[in-house]
Amino acid sequence: MSKFVMIIFGASGDLTKRKLMPALYSLYKDNRLPEGFAILGIGRTEYADETYRDYILNELEHFVTPAEVGMKEFCTHLHYLSLDPAKEEGYAMLDQHLQEITGEKEPDNLLFYLATPPSLYGVIPLHLKTAGLNREHTRIIVEKPFGYNLKSAQELNKIYASVFEEHQIYRIDHFLGKETAQNILAFRFANGIFEPLWNRNYIDYVEVTAVENLGIEQRGGFYDGTGALRDMVQNHLIQLVALTAMEPPAVFTADNFRNEVVKVYDSLKPLTEEDLNEHIVRGQYTASGSKKGYREEKNVPADSRTETYIAMKIGIDNWRWSGVPFYIRTGKQMPTKVTEIVVHFRETPHQMFHCHGGHCPRANKLILRLQPNEGIVLKFGMKVPGPGFDVKQVMMDFSYDQLGGQATGDAYARLIEDCIQGDPTLFTRSDAVEASWRFFDPVLRYWSEYPDAPLYGYPVGTWGPLESEAMMHEHGADWTNPCKNLTNTDQYCEL
Ligand X SMILES: NC(=O)C1=CN([C@@H]2O[C@H](COP(=O)(O)OP(=O)(O)OC[C@H]3O[C@@H](n4cnc5c(N)ncnc54)[C@H](OP(=O)(O)O)[C@@H]3O)[C@@H](O)[C@H]2O)C=CC1
Ligand Y SMILES: O=C1O[C@H](COP(=O)(O)O)[C@@H](O)[C@H](O)[C@H]1O
Catalytic residues: 236
Choices 61-69, 84-92, 395-403, 469-477 (CB under 6 A): range interacting with ligand X: 84-92
Residue 222 contacts ligand X per CB under 6 A: yes
The Cβ-side half-sphere exposure at 86, using a 13 Å CA radius, reads 6
| 122 contact partners, CB below 8 Å, separation of at least 6 | 155, 156, 159
Identity of the residue, 43 or 147, whose beta carbon is nearer to ligand X in the bound complex? 43
Identity of the residue, 18 or 32, whose beta carbon is nearer to ligand Y in the bound complex? 18
Q: What is the DSSP string of 285-323?
A: EE-BTTBPPGGGSTT--TT----SEEEEEE-B-STTTTT
Identity of the residue, 85 or 325, whose beta carbon is nearer to ligand X in the bound complex? 85
Angle CA 439–444–447, to nearest 5: 140
From candidates 5, 6, 12, 38, binder to ligand X by CB under 6 A = 12
**Nearest approach, Cβ of residue 219 and ligand X (Å):** 5
From candidates 117, 225, 249, 409, binder to ligand X by CB under 6 A = 117
Identity of the residue, 17 or 279, whose beta carbon is nearer to ligand X in the bound complex? 17
From candidates 108, 212, 401, 467, binder to ligand Y by CB under 6 A = 212
Backbone angles phi, psi at 106, to 5 degrees: -135, 70
* Residue 15: contacted member of ligand X, ligand Y, none (CB under 5 to 8 Å, by partner type): ligand X
Identity of the residue, 212 or 401, whose beta carbon is nearer to ligand Y in the bound complex? 212
Query: Which positions from 323 through 352 interact with ligand Y, judged by CB under 6 A?
Result: 339
**Nearest approach, Cβ of residue 87 and ligand X (Å):** 9
Coil, strand or helix at 425: coil
Helix, strand, coil shares of the chain as percentages rounded to 5? 35, 20, 40
* Residue 361: contacted member of ligand X, ligand Y, none (CB under 5 to 8 Å, by partner type): none
Query: Is 17 annotated as contributing to ligand binding?
Result: yes
As a whole number of Å, the end-to-end CA separation of the chain is 59
Identity of the residue, 220 or 315, whose beta carbon is nearer to ligand Y in the bound complex? 220
- State how far the Cα of 138 lies from the Cα of 41, in Å rounded to an integer: 17
* Residue 212: contacted member of ligand X, ligand Y, none (CB under 5 to 8 Å, by partner type): ligand Y
Query: Is 177 annotated as contributing to ligand binding?
Result: no
Query: Is 144 annotated as contributing to ligand binding?
Result: yes
H-state helical runs in 190-252: 220-224, 227-228, 238-245
Query: Is 104 annotated as contributing to ligand binding?
Result: no
**Nearest approach, Cβ of residue 269 and ligand Y (Å):** 26
**Nearest approach, Cβ of residue 215 and ligand X (Å):** 13
Count residues near ligand X (CB under 6 A). 22
Query: Which positions from 151 through 180 interact with ligand X, judged by CB under 6 A?
Result: 174
* Residue 14: contacted member of ligand Y, ligand X, none (CB under 5 to 8 Å, by partner type): ligand X
Environment class of residue 353 by beta-carbon count within 10 Å: exposed (0-12), middle (13-18) or buried (19+)? Answer: middle
Tally of helices (H runs) and strands (E runs) in the chain: 16, 15
Query: Is 13 annotated as contributing to ligand binding?
Result: yes
From candidates 179, 204, 207, 231, binder to ligand Y by CB under 6 A = 231
Identity of the residue, 164 or 175, whose beta carbon is nearer to ligand Y in the bound complex? 175
* 3-class secondary structure per residue, 8-72: EECCCCHHHHHHHHHHHHHHHHCCCCCCCCEEEEEECCCCCHHHHHHHHHHHHHHHCCCCCCCHH
- State how far the Cα of 425 lies from the Cα of 432, in Å rounded to an integer: 12
**Nearest approach, Cβ of residue 404 and ligand Y (Å):** 23
420: left (phi over 0), alpha (psi -120 to 50) or beta: alpha
From candidates 79, 127, 143, 285, binder to ligand X by CB under 6 A = 143
Question: For residues 113 and 6, is the Cβ–Cβ distance under 8 A?
Answer: yes
Spatial CA neighbour of 160 closest among 175, 147, 148: 147
Beta strand 309-314 with 280-286: parallel, antiparallel or unpaired? antiparallel
| Cα pseudo-dihedral 173, 401, 335, 441, rounded to 10 | 20
Q: What is the DSSP string of 327-365?
A: EEEEESS-SS-EEEEEEEEPPPSS--S--BTTB-----E
**What is the dihedral sign for C-alpha 243, 331, 225, 86?**
negative
**Nearest approach, Cβ of residue 146 and ligand Y (Å):** 12
DSSP state of 165: -
From candidates 15, 243, 246, 281, binder to ligand X by CB under 6 A = 15
Residue 115 contacts ligand X per CB under 6 A: yes
Residue 219 contacts ligand X per CB under 6 A: yes
Residues belonging to the binding site for substrate are 174, 178, 212, 231, 332, 337
Contact positions vs ligand X (CB under 6 A): 10, 12-15, 18, 43-45, 84-86, 115-118, 120, 143-144, 174, 219, 222
Residues belonging to the binding site for NADP(+) are 10-17, 44, 144
Residues belonging to the binding site are 10-17, 44, 144, 174, 178, 212, 231, 332, 337
Contact positions vs ligand Y (CB under 6 A): 212, 231-232, 339
